[in-house]
């Protein structure tokens, strides 16, 4: 099979390294590289399988190229930050290696995430006979695959989707984000967009709220509509989708802190002068907030992420809800990470397995819904993220 190079040794990188080691029949060698090599070494020491480590600045294409040439992987899994997507794709092109990530590119100076920059690599990857798989986390990632599953098995035509991401867990901290605080707060505070009748409709961030009753004992929680990147690729590749919305749970406590931080300017992403130095307030905030990696042993409860897909089956209206439930404490027991990192890292590894085993192949740049959902979901369940589908049920008007 093949060697894999994982870039990024944060919460998600830890899960990816553990899970690649568990799938050593596919990943015959593992190198974990990041800006701070000591973090790679700490992760490698947890794993009972050889993991090589390296230091790399993933903003620097020549450094990346040298590392890839030295390690000779068959696949690069990028779980650094969205800022590094393009440099890592450039290095993959320079060295002739396939690429996979879990979040789309974002420029540092604008909180704007969209696929245009990465889709622009289509011809270059195709011409070199290489494959790039974009957004192979949970959302984006598994949510795209759930939508493809609805289109393949449950509905003749998918017309509406509501992607609903619930974290019903608690870490007991006054305020903390469960993945990189800078990326999380940029995403949550960005204006909301949803797709309706062929166009994006913009509304104020977090201004639309509903209550949703989650299955398997989680119960009702408040959900807030926000923009999320998978909607962009889903409405492109499944053009029957007339309406696409994304919803996430937030506790009142999280929203209260976020409002104050916004009001006092701490979520700004432009530079401000401080004591003769330029700082970005949000980056400073990240430095004082709890490291999401440290929340692993503290987090209890479950996540529930899924897709409500509505459409037509055999000439009749039909709805299906496809979801996964993941337990924070069980994840921590297995790989020393909470469920947010786990639900991102496992699909990244499954995406890698699909590519390296040839179950998902193509030349160019791809999103998850462009491939057969069945082998991916079978492997996902095997590696720790089983899913359920509830057909019918109360018709959900969101």
Binding status of residue 114 toward ligand NDP by CB under 6 A: no
C-beta separation of 361 from 321 below 8 A? no
Residues in region 148-187 near ligand NDP by CB under 6 A: 179-180, 183
DSSP codes joined into one string, 217-232: TTEEEEEEEE--THHH
Taking the least distance from each CB to ligand NDP, the nearer of 142 and 155 is 142
Binding status of residue 140 toward ligand NDP by CB under 6 A: yes
Q: Are strands 75-78 and 98-101 parallel, antiparallel or unpaired?
A: parallel
Cα distance from N-terminal residue to C-terminal residue, the chain: 45
**Which long-range contacts (C-beta less than 8 Å, at least 24 apart) are formed by 328-332?**
328/169, 328/299, 328/300, 328/301, 328/302, 328/303, 329/299, 329/300, 331/15, 331/296, 332/296, 332/297, 332/299
Distance CA 71, CA 61 (A): 15
Which position among 31, 34, 65, 319 is part of the footprint of ligand NDP (CB under 6 A)?
A: 34
Binding status of residue 352 toward ligand NDP by CB under 6 A: no
Which position among 6, 11, 67, 349 is part of the footprint of ligand NDP (CB under 6 A)?
A: 11
Q: How far is CA 134 from the centre of its chain?
A: 10
Residues in region 265-304 near ligand NDP by CB under 6 A: 292-293
**Minimum distance, C-beta of residue 234 to ligand NDP, in the bound complex (Å):** 14
**Minimum distance, C-beta of residue 182 to ligand NDP, in the bound complex (Å):** 8
Binding status of residue 306 toward ligand NDP by CB under 6 A: no
Eight-class DSSP state of 107:
-
Taking the least distance from each CB to ligand NDP, the nearer of 1 and 383 is 383
**Nearest residue to ligand NDP on Cβ basis:** 10
Which position among 31, 53, 65, 84 is part of the footprint of ligand NDP (CB under 6 A)?
A: 84
Binding status of residue 377 toward ligand NDP by CB under 6 A: no
Binding status of residue 231 toward ligand NDP by CB under 6 A: no
Taking the least distance from each CB to ligand NDP, the nearer of 233 and 319 is 233
**Minimum distance, C-beta of residue 212 to ligand NDP, in the bound complex (Å):** 19
3-state DSSP assignment of residue 71: helix
Residue 204, CA distances (Å) to 105, 188, 224 in order:
23, 11, 11
**Minimum distance, C-beta of residue 293 to ligand NDP, in the bound complex (Å):** 6
Distance CA 78, CA 261 (A): 30
Binding status of residue 108 toward ligand NDP by CB under 6 A: no
Binding status of residue 132 toward ligand NDP by CB under 6 A: no
Taking the least distance from each CB to ligand NDP, the nearer of 143 and 319 is 143
Taking the least distance from each CB to ligand NDP, the nearer of 135 and 311 is 135
Which position among 29, 73, 141, 281 is part of the footprint of ligand NDP (CB under 6 A)?
A: 141
Q: How far is CA 330 from the centre of its chain?
A: 20
Residue 285, CA distances (Å) to 179, 247, 279 in order:
14, 25, 10
C-beta separation of 142 from 163 below 8 A? no
**Minimum distance, C-beta of residue 49 to ligand NDP, in the bound complex (Å):** 20
Eight-class DSSP state of 101:
E
Give 3-state DSSP helix, strand, coil % of the chain, rounded to 5: 40, 30, 35
C-beta separation of 46 from 315 below 8 A? no
Binding status of residue 12 toward ligand NDP by CB under 6 A: yes
Taking the least distance from each CB to ligand NDP, the nearer of 103 and 241 is 103
Distance CA 344, CA 326 (A): 11
Taking the least distance from each CB to ligand NDP, the nearer of 29 and 82 is 82
Which position among 137, 296, 306, 352 is part of the footprint of ligand NDP (CB under 6 A)?
A: 137
Q: Which H or E run includes 134?
A: strand 131-134
Binding status of residue 38 toward ligand NDP by CB under 6 A: no
Binding status of residue 68 toward ligand NDP by CB under 6 A: no
Select the span of 121-129, 138-146, 194-202, 366-374 touching ligand NDP (CB under 6 A): 138-146
Taking the least distance from each CB to ligand NDP, the nearer of 155 and 165 is 165
Residues that bind ligand NDP (CB under 6 A): 8-13, 34-36, 39, 56-59, 79-82, 84, 102-103, 137-141, 179-180, 183, 292-293, 340-341, 344
């Amino acid at each position: 099979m093949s060697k894999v190079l994982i870039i990024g040794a944060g919460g998600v990188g830890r899960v990816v390294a553990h899970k690649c080691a568990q799938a050593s029949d596919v990943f015959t060698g593992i190198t974990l590289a990041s800006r701070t090599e000591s973090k790679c070494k700490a992760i490698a020491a947890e794993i009972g399988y050889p993991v090589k480590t390296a230091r790399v600045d993933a903003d620097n294409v020549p450094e990346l190229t040298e590392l890839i040439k030295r390690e000779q992987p068959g696949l690069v899994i990028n779980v650094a930050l969205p800022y590094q997507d393009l440099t890592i794709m450039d290095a993959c092109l320079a060295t002739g290696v396939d690429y996979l990530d879990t979040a789309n590119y974002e420029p540092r100076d604008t909180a704007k995430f969209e696929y245009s920059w990465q889709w622009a690599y289509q011809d270059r990857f195709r011409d070199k006979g290489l494959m790039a798989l974009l957004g192979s986390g949970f959302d984006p990632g598994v949510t795209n695959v759930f939508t493809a599953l609805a289109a393949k098995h449950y509905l003749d035509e998918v017309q509406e989707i509501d992607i609903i991401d619930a974290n019903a867990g608690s870490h007991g901290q006054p305020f903390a984000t469960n993945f990189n605080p800078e990326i999380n707060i940029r995403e949550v505070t960005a204006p909301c967009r949803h797709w309706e009748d062929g166009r994006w409709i913009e509304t104020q961030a977090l201004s639309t709220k509903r209550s949703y009753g989650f299955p398997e004992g989680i119960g009702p929680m408040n959900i807030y509509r926000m923009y999320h990147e998978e909607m962009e690729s889903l409405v492109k590749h499944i053009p029957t989708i007339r309406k696409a919305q994304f919803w996430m749970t937030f506790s009142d406590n999280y929203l209260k802190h976020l409002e104050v931080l916004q009001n006092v300017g701490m979520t700004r992403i432009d530079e401000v002068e401080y004591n003769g130095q330029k700082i970005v307030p949000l980056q400073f905030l990240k430095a004082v907030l709890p490291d999401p990696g440290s929340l692993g042993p503290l987090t209890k409860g479950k996540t529930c992420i899924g897709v409500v897909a509505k459409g037509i089956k055999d000439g009749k209206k039909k709805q299906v809800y496809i979801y996964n439930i993941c337990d924070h404490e069980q994840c921590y027991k297995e790989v020393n990470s909470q469920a947010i990192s786990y639900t991102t890292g496992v699909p990244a590894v499954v995406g890698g397995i699909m590519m390296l085993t040839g179950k998902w192949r193509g030349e160019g740049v791809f999103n998850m819904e462009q491939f057969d959902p069945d082998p991916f979901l079978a492997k996902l369940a095997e590696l720790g993220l089983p899913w359920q589908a509830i057909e019918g049920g109360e018709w959900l008007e969101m």
